[in-house]
Amino acid sequence: MSDGIVHERLTQTLTEVGLAPEALEELASQLLWRIGRASEEGPVTVRVGLASSAEQFQALPRLRSATDAEIESAVREGSLRLEWVGPRLRAPER
């Protein structure tokens, strides 16, 4: 999957939840993330959270690695699971 397609999908998803892509760029240096599967047959999962939630990441079951092909397939099929770790962020008031 090309970088352009990933960027387009990310921008669309952020817009749907009311966040500007610039907000993600501002947060990028403060985020932790892990990609893998919780079980052999489980969905490909992306865990994302603020760096301040590092202890909560460690308390979760370890994700087994997923190959690039598995990740790309999950994105194409729309079966990628996203988990936020830690306190929820709030979208800015409009």
- Domain spans, the chain: 3-85
CB 82 within 8 A of CB 48: yes
Report the distance separating Cα 48 and Cα 54, nearest Å. 10
Arch. (CATH architecture) of 3-85: Roll (3.10)
Model confidence, pTM: 0.68
**Confidence at residue 89, expressed as pLDDT on a 0 to 100 scale:** 64
**Confidence at residue 48, expressed as pLDDT on a 0 to 100 scale:** 87
**Confidence at residue 14, expressed as pLDDT on a 0 to 100 scale:** 72
The confidence band for 58, taking pLDDT boundaries of 50, 70 and 90, is very high
CB 82 within 8 A of CB 46: yes
